[in-house]
């Protein structure tokens, strides 16, 4: 019963903006430790934002406010910034900090801005939603790859 109450309180913290929906094959909560673990084809959705993984651990503070989401294993995601810029991507691990609205993606990261030909591939990518900024770092032997489209002024003048 405590677990159900904990889950309801946990989910209500997100209801002020959009409904948070979590689907998983397994769920475990430890209120004293301040964590909830979702396992097996985890799908978390809130508004446009979506986070999918094999396992997601959610850390909460004493006020039952989520402070960190850690997604592991075949992570896929889509997020929207405050300026309505939309991103979609994949990674092996993701850490989301809801207080600062910052995503950190790790291992085999491929981040694509939708509606624009802008892509980042790297080993570590940080996406700061509030600031609309992205940072990337390559692996030791692999560089960061940036793909974007330039519109040449002469091409536009010919049209």
More confident residue, 29 or 144: 29
Q: What is the DSSP letter of 140?
A: S
81-99 per-position pLDDT tens digit? 888 888 899 999 999 998 8
* pTM exceeds 0.85, yes or no: no
**Three-class DSSP category at 82:** coil
45-87 per-position pLDDT tens digit? 988 899 999 999 999 988 888 899 999 999 999 988 888 888 8
d(CA 103, CA 151): 29
**CB 87 within 8 Å of CB 111:** yes
d(CA 24, CA 19): 16
């Amino acid at each position: 019963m405590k677990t159900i109450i904990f889950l309801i309180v946990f989910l209500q913290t997100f209801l002020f903006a959009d409904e948070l929906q979590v689907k998983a094959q397994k769920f475990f909560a430890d209120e004293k430790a301040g964590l909830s673990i979702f396992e097996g084809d985890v799908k978390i959705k809130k508004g446009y934002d979506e986070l999918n993984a094999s396992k997601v651990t959610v850390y909460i503070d004493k006020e039952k406010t989520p402070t960190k989401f850690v997604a592991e294993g075949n992570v896929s995601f889509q997020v929207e910034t405050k300026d309505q810029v939309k991103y979609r991507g994949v990674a092996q691990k993701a850490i989301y900090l809801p207080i600062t609205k910052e995503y950190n993606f790790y291992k085999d990261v491929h981040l694509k801005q939708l509606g624009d030909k802008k892509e980042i591939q790297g080993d570590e990518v940080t996406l700061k939603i509030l600031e609309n900024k992205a940072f990337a770092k390559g692996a030791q032997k692999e560089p960061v790859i940036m793909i974007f489209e330039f519109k040449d002024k002469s091409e536009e003048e010919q049209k």
